Amino acid sequence: MSREAEVRHHADQEVGKSFPEFLEKARVAEAELRRVQAAGASPEELRAAGLVFDAALTDALRAAEAGQRATFGPRAYDDRIRRRKGRATPKGAEWTSEVNRLRTLREENRLTGIARVPRPVTVVVR
């Protein structure tokens, strides 16, 4: 096991500890997005709420990925077989399914949740 793997493992452990906070922020952002959608807000407001939700999901996803890597152990940073074995453990499978769920949710939001707003037209006077 390399020194770099140990350092990355400890860093991932620290980031993974903040996962519940990031997940709660994502839940709040999603509730706000759904509220704005139900209120029939303007496209600009829908876009802003969708982008906030996207940023919250991205933070939660990064923390979940760090927690997943930390669960696999420090040897998994250098060895792909260890990563596969780590995914096969109950805790590793739990983290893997959570990461996949968050990725799917983020992609769904990027495809349908972020409203498209036309660009403003600029007039050039000569």
- The pLDDT tens digits for 40-53 are 888 889 999 999 99
The conformation of residue 83, written as its DSSP 8-state character, comes to: H
- Cite the beta strand spans of the chain per DSSP E: none
Question: What's the confidence (pLDDT) of residue 75?
Answer: 85
Domain boundaries, the chain: 3-113
Query: For residues 115 and 94, what is the distance between their CA atoms, to the nearest angstrom?
Result: 32
pLDDT digit string, tens, across residues 67-108: 999 998 888 888 889 889 888 899 999 999 999 999 999 999
Q: Which residue has the higher pLDDT, 82 or 64?
A: 64
Read off the pTM: 0.85
